[in-house]
Each structure stands twice: as C-alpha cells, then as structure tokens.
Amino acid sequence: MPEQLISISSPHRPLKNLPLTLPPDCVRPDTGQSWSLEDTSTNETIPLQADGDRLRLVLPEIARGQTRTFGLQKTAEAQLRAELREASADQLQVLVDGKLVTMYHTSKDWVRPFLWPLNGPGGVALTRCWPMQDDPNEKTDHRHHKSVWIAHGSLNGSDNWSEEEGHGSVAHQEFTERVSGPVFCRFATRDNWLNAAGERIMRGCTEVTVFALPGDERILDFVIRFEATDGPVHFGDTKEGGLLSLRLTASMNGDRGGVIENAYGGITEKECWGKPAPWVDYSGPVDDAVFGTAIFDHPDNPCHPTRWHVRDYGLFTANPFALHDYLGRKDVDGSMTLEAGQSWTFRYRLYLHKGGASEGDVRNRYLGYASPPLIASVEA
C-alpha cells in the first residue's frame, strides 16, 4: 500500500519533462530512505529525490486538462543519473547518465568562474570554446564572454563585466553544497566580488541544479544571490552585464541562420534586444541539425520581466539594469541599490533543446516553470 496518494493536475496546457517539488503536506523524506511515485492507472514509476525536507521529481508528461494520481511509496535506492565529479582541484564536472553536460571552472587564472562546455541534446556543444580552447571557426572578440557566466559592468563604479584595464573580478571561495542523485545534481558556491584593488564589493552565492530528464534535453536551474556584506552596492545602469550570460557557438549566430525569439513574438536582435520578456530563445544550426537555448526569467525576480542584452553575434544575457542604452534616453535610470545587510535573489532556468522555439515547445516549458501544475495530497 502506498504511504499517500498524490494528484498532479494541469488544467491549461500539456507539459513534459518538468521538474517539480512535492508540497510540504506530503511525506517528508526520512534520512537514507528512497521514495518513488507510481501511477495508479499505468503503474509508471517515477523516482523521487530528497531536497532538504521536500521531495523532487521530473514529471515525464501530462496532457492538458489531465489529472494524474500517484501512490507515494518507499522503494529501493534508485539509479544514480545526475552526478558531480571532480576533474581537478578547480574543475567540477556535471554529468547526466555518464555524459558530460557542463563543467564549472574556478581557477584563479580566470577573472571569474564560468561553465564550459555547455552540451545540449546529443552532447552537442552549444557555447563558444574560445578563449579556453582555440578553434579556427570561432571569433576571438570579447575575451570575457566565456560560455556561461555571471557578471555586471558597474558595481559601485567597478567594471565587473569586461577584462579591460582596471576591471574587477569574482573570486571563488568555497563550495557550500555538492549533491548527486537519481533526479538532480547540484552545486552551490560562495564567491567574493572584488574591485580592481582587490577590495570586496559584495558576496555572491550561486546554486546550479541540473536535472536528469527522459531523453537528452537539458534543464539547468540557477539561483543567484547577491549579499551586501560590505556596505551598499550600486548596480549601475549599463548594457555591459548579464546576471545569466551565454556566448553561443559561432554557427548559431544570426548571420548564419540563428534565430532570436522572445515570449511576445519578437524575432531577431532588432525586435528582442533591450525588450522586456519573460523568456528568450536563441536557436541555430550546429553541424547538421538545429538546436536551441532558452533562458526563463522567474516571475519572482526583481524587475520581472527582465530586459535582454541579446545580439546576432551570439551574446545572450538577461540584464534588467540597462535602461539608458535599451531605450536610448538619458532621462531614465535603470540602476538599483542593494542596501547594506540586504540581499537579492534571482532565479533563471536554462533549457537546451532540439529545433527552434516552436519545436522545443518553449512557451509551455516556460509556463510549467513559472506556473507549475497543481499538486495535492488526496484521500485513498
């Protein structure tokens, strides 16, 4: 007999491969105990993984208007699918089913930490490899555009975006969490954001969760927290920044068949750059197929929906602070100040898929993130 019955309902849209968290009134995980959900109609079994005092899963599929009922039951330990491995003292690999998804680089030889490579469906690399690795097919502009990174160009006047003379930096301090499991793996870091003199401006904490999905799509969730540990922090109005930033591989560029599309139907850099939108998708050809990357801006984020610094040459960032440049006006100010002792938290989802935004069902995938299905405990 199941410990409890759980219903999951999606009244408005079909959804697939969706990470979910069971609500607090469901069974709380016991230390060392594995759990699963079993569909009461089809007997499909879905593994669960403890995340603190909650249980998480990936729902493979639910139709529009459907309610699925599951029995929550204790089970044998599930297969490890999402895994962290140390490649070296300053490189942490992220793997799903033994395949490399990305690697986190923390060496002091770099100006700030970053993720590279970023491998999408089929293990195809979707971000630029330069300057980490030479490639005659890649451009060598903007050295600070390292695959996937977090930066901002004006923090109390400090340039923490570029690597030009007088730039600031981000110094990795420690990993505060490293978890592997059948549903997800996660690492969390604590970093010091420094000015050019090496003085700390603020503390940053980054959490990256990678889910083991059916098939080879990829979902990476980012939780980015800024803490004003050393006084107020002024995030200046500048387009030179991205709280989640990507530099895509050159074959996906707009002049090579790449397509930029936002949630409101904007197409190309001209219609998406500087515009507010809850999501943007950037797709294009790699080898003989089309792949897409979508960034979802969580509705609880400050300044939601964010504006986008997204370019035809492959730059793709969520930057809510740049009204001067976005609007082309000097009488507006997009800067914000994080007061001493306070913190801000930004959440983003990075979705890697085959095809363009339509083929990847990006609209529904975003809505599943922003407004997930209804989950409830039901009587047997």
pLDDT at residue 2, rounded to an integer = 77
pLDDT tens, per residue, the chain with 380 residues: 677 899 999 999 999 999 999 998 887 777 678 899 999 999 999 999 999 889 999 999 999 999 999 999 999 888 999 999 999 999 999 999 999 999 999 999 999 999 999 999 999 999 999 999 999 999 999 999 999 999 999 999 999 999 999 999 999 999 999 999 999 999 999 999 999 999 999 999 999 999 999 999 999 999 999 999 999 999 999 999 999 999 999 999 998 999 999 999 999 999 999 999 999 999 999 999 999 999 999 999 999 999 999 999 999 999 999 999 999 999 999 999 999 999 999 999 999 999 999 999 999 999 999 999 999 998 76
Ordered by where they begin, the domains of the chain are 4-78 (2.60.40), 82-369 (2.70.98)
Q: Are residues 113 and 106 in contact, defined by beta-carbon separation less than 8 angstroms?
A: yes
Give the CB-side neighbour count of residue 99, counting CA atoms within 13 A. 18
Nearest to 259 by CA among 290, 217, 297: 290
Q: What is the structure's pLDDT at 31?
A: 62
DSSP 149-204: EEEEEEETTEEES--STT--EEEEEEEEEEE-BSSEEEEEEEEEEE-TTS-EEEEE
Residue 202 CA, distance from chain mean position: 22
Whose structure tokens read 């004003």?
A: 228
Whole-number Cα distances in Å, 245 to 49, 137, 254, 257: 29, 21, 17, 21
pTM of the model: 0.97
User: How many alpha carbons lie under 13 Å from residue 305 in its C-beta half-sphere?
Assistant: 16
Other beta carbons less than 10 A from residue 89's beta carbon: 8
**Three-class SS state of 69:** strand
Sign of the dihedral defined by the CA atoms of residues 350, 356, 361, 362, in that order: positive
Report pLDDT for 380.
66
- Separation in Å, CA 378 to CA 25, 29, 121, 202: 10, 18, 37, 46
pLDDT of residue 378: 87
∠ CA 155-160-164, nearest 5°, is 130
Q: How many CB atoms lie within 10 A of CB 346?
A: 22
Fill in the amino acid letter for 274. G
Question: How far is the C-alpha of 200 from the C-alpha of 195, rounded, in Å?
Answer: 7
